[in-house]
Amino acid sequence: MKSDNRDVLLIVDVQNDFCPGGALAVPQGDEIVPLVNKIAAGFAHIVVTQDWHPAGHLSFASAHPGRHPFETVELPYGTQVLWPDHCVQGTPGAEFHPDLDVPHAELVLRKGFVATIDSYSALRENDRKTPTGLASYLRERGLARITMVGIATDYCVLYSALDAREAGFEVTVETRACRGLDVDGSLQRALTAMSNAGVTLA
C-alpha cells in the first residue's frame, strides 16, 4: 500500500459506455480493469471520475441536426468534437464497469453534467475556466502526488494530467492501465503533450 499520505490514485471514467459494446467504446477499454483493481489495492487514497451527461448534452451529435459523431463544431468555449450519446445520467452505460472493484475509493467525482459545456478533465470543464473542485479537494487533504489510470488516454486522461500539472501536482500516468481512442494519431500526440508538461509516463 502507498504509505505516503501524499499519494492518490485517480481512476478516470472506467464506465460501460467506454468499453466494448458501449456507445463510445474505446478499443480494449475493458482490458485495463483487472490491472486497475490491482493498482488500486496499493493505494490508501482513491478518487474515481464518472462522466455524467444529461440527455441532449451539447457535445452529443444528436443535439446538432444534420451533424454526425466525430465531426467538430464551434461552441462559445471553442472547438468541440461531437460524440455519440454516451454516459447519460441514470443509464447502464454511465455505470462503472461491473468488474471495477475499488470499494475503498473516497470520492466519486461526476463531470460533464453541465448541459452546455463538455468536460474531459477531472479538474476543469472544457471552457478551461470552470473548476470541478478536485484540485481544492486534493490540496485540502494534502494529496500532492497523483497517479492516473483509465479511459481515454488521449482525451480525459490527457486533459486531467495536463490540468493537474498546471495546478502544481506531481503526476504519473500508468499507460499500461489506460486505453485511448487514437483518432488520426491522437494517442501519440497525447503522450507527447503529457511528457512535455512534465507528466511521468510509466
Residues annotated as catalytic are: 13, 111, 156
CA distances from 123 to 33, 63, 173 (A): 23, 25, 15
CA distances from 103 to 29, 33, 43, 182 (A): 21, 14, 12, 31
